[in-house]
Amino acid sequence: MELKISDLIAKEMFLTPEEIEAVDTLIPIKEFKKGRLLLEEGSIAKECYFNIKGCVRSYQILNGEEKTTQFFIEGDPIASLLSYLNKTPANHYFECIEDCTLAVLSFDNEQRLYKQYPKFEALCRNSIEQEFGKQQEVLQNYLTRNPEERYLMLQETRPELLQRVPQYHLATFLGVQPESLSRIRKRIAQKNKS
């Protein structure tokens, strides 16, 4: 059976047959191969996504080096909000680091959905608020913890990333070089043996 976005939305709210047809038409589910860029720095985000399967990373290039700023896995919304809402160029990239299955919502379809079915605006607002809260936590942890503490926090709150994401992406996310991340992991493993 083909997965439809209405199947996921129906877990959050009641949908009429008309609403089911509208969301399945306006929010298609698409497959993206590993390595696919969903957004590039300098371009304007015309779509936002909901991750059904796979892993997407957000990164910037600073002084010629990639710096990972976030990972999006199953159940996560993916949006470059300032670019998407203000029609301004993005300052980052979105890259599929695994084969991904994503629900895709264009800005025009989003506006059409809100106009026809206002209750979807509340659902999206709630999703954005939840994501904003998560981002505040990530920023707070990054600013107040050292790299080893950030790694331990990641191990506690998002352990699946440690298995799924290449170490060099994890290192830039934690703000260290890959060699430093190796030392951090080794130190933690030794402490756990004691």
Would you tell me how many other CB atoms lie within 10 Å of the CB of residue 180? 15
42: CB partners within 8 A, 6+ apart: 89, 90
- Predicted confidence (pLDDT) at residue 189 exceeds the cutoff of 80: yes
- Predicted confidence (pLDDT) at residue 167 exceeds the cutoff of 80: yes
Average pLDDT of the residues in 70-78:
94
Average pLDDT of the residues in 159-177:
93
Greatest alpha-carbon span in the chain: 61
What was the pLDDT predicted at 1?
Answer: 58
Assign a CATH topology to domain 5-129.
Answer: Jelly Rolls (2.60.120)
pLDDT tens, position by position, 140-160: 888 899 999 999 999 999 999
Burial class (CB in 10 A: 0-12, 13-18, 19+), 10: middle
User: How many angstroms separate the CA atoms of 135 and 27, rounded?
Assistant: 25
What was the pLDDT predicted at 192?
Answer: 81
pLDDT tens, position by position, 33-72: 999 999 999 999 999 999 999 999 999 999 999 999 999 9
**Residue ranges per domain, the chain?**
5-129, 145-194
pLDDT tens, position by position, 80-138: 999 999 999 999 999 999 999 999 999 999 999 999 998 888 888 888 888 888 888 88
What was the pLDDT predicted at 12?
Answer: 83
What was the pLDDT predicted at 179?
Answer: 92
